[in-house]
């Protein structure tokens, strides 16, 4: 099974209902209300096909996007080029990124990218690397699929989609001891009148808000907020997406 391999070519097609403009505007609001420095340039981790990247550039930020998938970055490059927008794109595992070569005012990770880091020690090291690369008053903004969403909404459930040009069967397996959800997705994509089958395997960690806050505090961040979904109120136990806003 692949990980954002061939799926990259169909990702945006399946995410057409996501309002990335509103997502980026929410990130922009969180940055401006964080109490940190005036942010000019952003390092976006897990930028994928560049949907959030594009909108952040439109909002006036200089953005460097990083993703582990070359296929996703190719889609991002096309998307930015089609609209004559400029952004630096780097192919790297965010856990191995050379932060010392970068000097962002702000680090962003949208669309639950950090859920893919299933080892808590790896995530703590990443937070420390981000903290070290940010200037005093620098800002970290990221969102996670919540513990509630991964353990209950996805849980052990199966989802399906059947349209003329693409279909999938998305099976989830929640592991309560590891607090992870394994996702096996089988796609059928129509090409030249025939359907091509391919598979993707993903695994995400269901992090509790208290665990993330403790990691961020241990990394050195002095201001840490956990906000529910796309609002400005504290996250609740039933929030499906949690936005963390941190200031160095």
Q: Do β-strands 194-205 and 180-191 pair in parallel, antiparallel, or remain unpaired?
A: antiparallel
Q: Where are the alpha helices (DSSP H) in the chain?
A: 8-14, 20-32, 51-58, 70-82, 120-133, 147-148, 209-219
CA distance readout (Å), 151 to 33, 160, 179, 211, 219:
31, 19, 8, 16, 27
- What pLDDT was estimated at residue 130? 98
Contact 31, 104 (CB under 8 A): no
CATH for 8-146+206-247?
3.40.50.150
Whole-angstrom Cα distance, residue 213 to residue 184? 30
Q: DSSP label at 135?
A: P
Q: Do β-strands 158-162 and 139-145 pair in parallel, antiparallel, or remain unpaired?
A: unpaired
Contact 193, 165 (CB under 8 A): no
CATH topology of domain 149-204: N-terminal domain of TfIIb (2.20.25)
Which residue has 């050195």 as its token pair?
220
Question: What is the location of CATH 2.20.25.110 in the chain?
Answer: 149-204
pLDDT in tens, the chain (248 residues): 456 778 888 899 899 999 999 999 999 999 999 999 999 999 999 999 999 999 999 999 999 999 999 999 999 999 999 999 999 999 999 999 998 889 999 999 999 999 999 999 999 999 999 999 999 999 999 999 999 999 999 999 999 999 999 999 999 999 999 999 999 999 999 988 899 999 999 999 999 999 999 999 999 999 999 999 999 999 999 999 999 999 99
Contact 46, 113 (CB under 8 A): yes
Quick one: 239 exposed, middle or buried, by C-beta within 10 A (0-12, 13-18, 19+)? buried
Whole-angstrom Cα distance, residue 50 to residue 119? 26
Whole-angstrom Cα distance, residue 124 to residue 171? 29
Crossing angle (nearest 10°) for helices 20-32 and 51-58: 60
Count of beta carbons in the 10 Å neighbourhood of residue 121: 9
- What pLDDT was estimated at residue 2? 55
Whole-angstrom Cα distance, residue 56 to residue 76? 13
């Amino acid at each position: 099974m692949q990980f954002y391999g061939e799926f990259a070519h169909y990702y945006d097609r399946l995410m057409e209902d996501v309002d990335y403009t509103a997502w980026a505007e929410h990130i922009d609001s969180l940055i401006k209300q964080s109490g940190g420095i005036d942010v000019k340039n952003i390092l976006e981790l897990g930028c994928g096909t560049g949907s959030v990247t594009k909108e952040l550039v439109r909002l006036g930020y200089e953005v460097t996007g990083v993703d582990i998938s070359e296929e996703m970055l190719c889609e991002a490059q096309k998307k930015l080029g089609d609209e004559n927008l400029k952004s630096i794109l780097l192919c790297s595992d965010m856990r191995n990124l050379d932060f010392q070569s970068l000097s962002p005012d702000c680090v962003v990770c949208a669309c639950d990218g950090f859920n893919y880091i299933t080892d808590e020690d790896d995530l703590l090291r990443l937070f420390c690397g981000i903290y070290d690369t940010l200037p005093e008053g620098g800002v970290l903004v990221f969102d996670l699929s919540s513990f509630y969403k991964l353990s209950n909404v996805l849980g052990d459930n199966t989802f399906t989609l059947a349209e003329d040009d693409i279909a999938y069967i998305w099976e989830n397996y929640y592991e309560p001891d590891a607090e992870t959800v394994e996702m096996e997705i089988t796609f059928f994509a129509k090409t030249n009148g025939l359907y091509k089958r391919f598979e993707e395997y993903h695994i995400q960690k269901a992090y509790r808000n208290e665990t993330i806050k403790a990691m961020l505090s241990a990394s050195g961040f002095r201001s840490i907020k956990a906000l529910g979904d796309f609002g400005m109120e504290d996250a609740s136990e039933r929030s499906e997406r949690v936005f963390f806003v941190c200031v160095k």
